[in-house]
Amino acid sequence: MHKIDARGKVCPLPLFYTKKQIDGLKTGEELEVLSDDVTARNAIPQWTREHGHEIVKIEESGSDFKVIIKKH
């Protein structure tokens, strides 16, 4: 599984990193994104759905959140 740790970065950077990494993945591969940005918490899942990818899991722990995305 590919991973991005975008904690400490503010949007649009976590979303930009997510888009860039997803573009390099093959269909069916998964990406784990870690972030602590409030805007990214909504923007990344929204972007994922709008572009036809699957949200496998979203976990929250304090101010951090993790989203696992499967490329379609």
Catalytic residues: 11
Q: How far apart are CA 55 and CA 12, in angstroms?
A: 19
Q: How far apart are CA 66 and CA 26, in angstroms?
A: 21
Q: Are 55 and 68 in contact (CB under 8 A)?
A: yes
